[in-house]
Amino acid sequence: MPFLKPSTSALLGGVLCHLCYGTLYCWGNSTIYITSYFRQFDSELTTKDTLQVYAAALLGQALMMGAGGALENKIGARPASFLAIAGIAASSFISAQCATALQLLFAQLLFGAAMGVGYLPPMSLGYKHLPKRKGFVSGLIVGGFGAGSFIFNFVVTGIVNPEGKEVNDGGPNDGYYTDEAILDRVPTMYRVLGACYLVIGLTGAFCQVEPSGKGCGGGSEEESLLAVADGDAASGDKAEKAKAGGKEKDELAGKTTSEMIRDPLSFVLMSSLFCTAVGGMYMSATYKSFGEEHLKSDVFFATVGSAGAVFNGGCRVLWGMLADRIGVFEAMMVNASVFPVLFFVYNFAVKYEWSTMIIVCLMFGVYGGNYALYPAATAKLYGPLHAGSNYGNIFTLYGCLTAFIMYILGTTTIEYLSINYLILGCNLVGTGLVFFLRRAYRRRVLAEAGGGWDGRNQTF
């Protein structure tokens, strides 16, 4: 926008686009409406069955994340974002015409693929503009993703169920809606979402201007990514790195994806992302279905989802700032240690409205931190030059695994509580992997320095 500084315009554009992508998290609130709608055509359909639709969106995003980074390198952030927004809008208009859950699955696969194309370009652009702001850039932009459902949960509920009617209690349609007035509004919901994507998302894409010269922050793209990876503590390390002969930067600044995947530590990174984030992903899709086993209030769960989205978005910025302050791996250790505790409490807290609100908001806030921390961790391990494509491929592996798990959980007859405990075990494995990752990185840096760098001033 001409009346904004280029850096401000680029960040605003990234946030607006990610607000649209973040409607992925509306699934937890809208799944009851969508499943009830398709039960008109298949009375055996359940919310666990339609969880496969959510899995398809995750799979689409995972498959296209790497391609999105490569596309941004070729055509720029603005064209890549225009393409992504057009894709998610088209998927919503197609979803409005779907008559079966299978058709919706393919429509949402398109949504996920378009979102994957558009996810990374705004962050890469932000790094070029503000190389000195480190985790703030990635935290702010992905904060838009986390906050997207705050706005759109109210939009969804306001369109489909403005009267706040409750689901059926008892009978063959227990836990679902059969009111035709509610069901007939589901296609309208998708059309309104598609129109919102075009207005908000295309505005965001237009705002994404490239920096003039070699970067508004006085550094190249490589330097900006390195700044994001290093954190505030890096400013005091220059003398120590000089003692090491700059070996770390020379050898790690430009690891390609093919080089990265030959390193066993990359699979530890991917596995830790999966194990620490899968719990939050599952919770975001099922908190309403799980909670309505005890609390049957549609308006309450719409409010919970929107409040959780605020925590998700706002805390991503805070996690990025924490990584700047204490180091990305330390922040990851805190994140991975706190979430399993919250997930355990979650299983008991959903019996009461006040405790449900608190625990879901806290879980969203901690879960969202993964998406601010892991891009920086990838750049820290494998350097800044190919950080976008490297993280895209890390996310692809994580996303495919998550989509597969969501598919399996959607076909099982195991109750939600038992599934929660299985995922809690996975979270605990992730905690151990993060601690191992931090230790392995510390050893690697010391080895690269040839033992001449004691690392006392470096935050690992």
Give CA–CA dist 46/23, Å, rounded. 22
Which residue's structure tokens are 């250790």?
A: 333
pLDDT value at residue 139: 77
Give CA–CA dist 297/149, Å, rounded. 18
pLDDT value at residue 258: 80
pLDDT value at residue 223: 41
pLDDT value at residue 281: 84
Give CA–CA dist 113/94, Å, rounded. 14
Mean pLDDT in the chain? 81
pLDDT value at residue 226: 41
Give CA–CA dist 387/274, Å, rounded. 19
**From 40-49, 358-367, 411-420, the region with the lowest mean pLDDT:** 411-420
Looking at per-residue pLDDT, the higher value among 158 and 372 belongs to 158
Looking at per-residue pLDDT, the higher value among 218 and 57 belongs to 57
- Expressed in percent and rounded to 5, the helix, strand and coil fractions of the chain are 80, 0, 20
Which residues neighbour 280 within 8 Å (Cβ) at sequence distance 6 or greater?
339, 363, 364, 366, 367, 368, 370
Degrees (nearest 5) of the Cα angle 393, 257, 221? 90
Highest mean pLDDT among 122-131, 153-162, 167-176, 410-419 belongs to 153-162
Looking at per-residue pLDDT, the higher value among 416 and 373 belongs to 373
pLDDT value at residue 227: 41
Give CA–CA dist 156/149, Å, rounded. 9
Q: Which helix (H) or strand (E) holds 261?
A: none
pLDDT value at residue 451: 52
Total residue count of the chain as it appears in this document:
460
DSSP 292: T
CA dihedral 437, 338, 365, 404 (to 10 degrees): 60
Q: 409 in helix, strand or coil?
A: helix
Q: 222 in helix, strand or coil?
A: helix
Give CA–CA dist 156/154, Å, rounded. 5
Give CA–CA dist 10/212, Å, rounded. 12
**pLDDT tens profile 2-25:** 667 888 898 999 999 999 998 988
Span 384-390, average pLDDT: 70
Does position 385 have pLDDT exceeding 70, yes or no?
A: no
Contact 303, 157 (CB under 8 A): no
**pLDDT band at residue 366 under the 50/70/90 scheme:** very high
Which residue's structure tokens are 């306001």?
A: 158
Looking at per-residue pLDDT, the higher value among 230 and 67 belongs to 67
**pLDDT band at residue 358 under the 50/70/90 scheme:** very high
Does position 39 have pLDDT exceeding 80, yes or no?
A: yes
pLDDT value at residue 148: 83
Does position 257 have pLDDT exceeding 70, yes or no?
A: yes
**pLDDT band at residue 84 under the 50/70/90 scheme:** very high
Give CA–CA dist 149/312, Å, rounded. 10
Degrees (nearest 5) of the Cα angle 155, 156, 162? 85
Does position 245 have pLDDT exceeding 60, yes or no?
A: no
pLDDT value at residue 130: 78
Span 277-297, average pLDDT: 80
Radius of gyration over alpha carbons of the chain, in Å? Answer: 22
Give CA–CA dist 242/233, Å, rounded. 15
Highest mean pLDDT among 36-45, 161-170, 254-263 belongs to 36-45
**pLDDT band at residue 1 under the 50/70/90 scheme:** low
Span 384-401, average pLDDT: 77
pLDDT value at residue 233: 40
Does position 371 have pLDDT exceeding 60, yes or no?
A: yes
Looking at per-residue pLDDT, the higher value among 244 and 149 belongs to 149
Does position 234 have pLDDT exceeding 50, yes or no?
A: no
Give CA–CA dist 43/224, Å, rounded. 54
Looking at per-residue pLDDT, the higher value among 416 and 91 belongs to 91
pLDDT value at residue 222: 42
Q: 121 in helix, strand or coil?
A: helix
Q: What tokens appear for 115 in the block?
A: 């979102």
**pLDDT band at residue 344 under the 50/70/90 scheme:** very high
Q: In the chain, what percentage of residues exceed pLDDT 70?
A: 85
Does position 73 have pLDDT exceeding 80, yes or no?
A: no
**How many Cα atoms are found within 13 Å in the side-chain-facing hemisphere of 70?**
10
Domains, in order of start, for the chain: 6-447 (1.20.1250.20)
Span 102-131, average pLDDT: 89
pLDDT value at residue 384: 66
pLDDT value at residue 3: 65
Does position 117 have pLDDT exceeding 60, yes or no?
A: yes
Contact 65, 392 (CB under 8 A): yes
pLDDT value at residue 93: 97
Contact 391, 375 (CB under 8 A): yes
pLDDT value at residue 237: 39
| Helical pair 121-129 and 77-95, crossing angle rounded to 10 deg | 150
DSSP string, 342-405: HHHHHHHHTTSHHHHHHHHHHHHHHHHTHHHHHHHHHHHHH-STTHHHHHHHHHHHHHHHHHHH
Looking at per-residue pLDDT, the higher value among 191 and 65 belongs to 191
Span 337-344, average pLDDT: 94
Contact 51, 285 (CB under 8 A): yes
If we measure between CA atoms, which residue out of 93, 91, 98 comes closest to residue 34? Answer: 98
